[in-house]
Amino acid sequence: MTGTDRRADLVRRIRQSAVPVSGKELAEYYGVSRQVIVQDIALVRATGLDILSTNRGYILHDPTIFSRVFKVHHTDEELEEELCAIVDLGGCVENVMVHHQVYGEMQAPLHIRSRRNVADFLSDLKKGRSSPLKNITANDHYHTVTADSEETLDMIENELRKRHFLVE
């Protein structure tokens, strides 16, 4: 097994374990020294994975992000209301997508997660000579929204429905 293969398997073992995995246990399993495991963990961390060292072993801090795509419809004047309804409930508007009959699917990243982001986005629209992407499809568009739980996404969906933005 190569070092790369070992590190990939090491991450899988830590991720799937219900309890912290000790360095000693990993070293014995892979037939390497404890120091090799420490170096492997450092290399894995360098790739961006958040592996935590505890007194009982290694755990992977892997926060779960939930996402849902909402089809919505509103006017330009209601754009701020729609975005604020989402971010006020803890959602992040990751993108905007439209399905154009000629051009097909088009999308643009947004990453709007706060009222300040909403204000900056609206300011950028006003400064430029562009209009919202939704305008090329008679205001119909989609947003991928992420949140910390399905419950948060349910609240956002209900709020969009209540405000008559959600297309059923």
What is the homologous superfamily of the domain 66-162 according to CATH? 3H domain (3.30.1340.20)
Supply the pTM of this predicted model.
0.66
Amino acid at 63: P
User: What are the domain boundaries of the chain?
Assistant: 3-60, 66-162
DSSP states of 76-100 as a string? GGGHHHHHHHHHHTT-EEEEEEEEE
Helices (H) and strands (E) in the chain, counts: 6, 6
Q: What is the 3-state secondary structure (H, E, C) of 39-75?
A: HHHHHHHHCCCCEEEECCEEEECCCCCEEEEEEEECC
For the stretch 98-147, pLDDT in tens is 999 998 999 999 999 999 999 999 999 999 878 898 999 999 999 999 99
Q: Is residue 47 predicted with pLDDT exceeding 90?
A: no
What is the structure's pLDDT at 35?
96
Question: Which of 27, 41, 65, 47 lies closest to 146, judged by CA?
Answer: 65
- Calculate the CA dihedral of residues 71, 77, 79, 82 and round it to 10 degrees: -70
Identical fold for domains 3-60 and 66-162, yes or no, is: no
What pLDDT is recorded for position 145? Answer: 96
Chain mean pLDDT for the chain: 93
Give me the mean pLDDT over the 43-70 stretch: 88
Phi, psi (deg, nearest 5) at residue 165:
-95, -30
Alpha-carbon span 40 to 53, nearest angstrom = 13
Which one of 1.10.357.10, 1.10.10.10, 2.40.10.10, 3.10.580.10 gives the CATH number of domain 3-60? 1.10.10.10
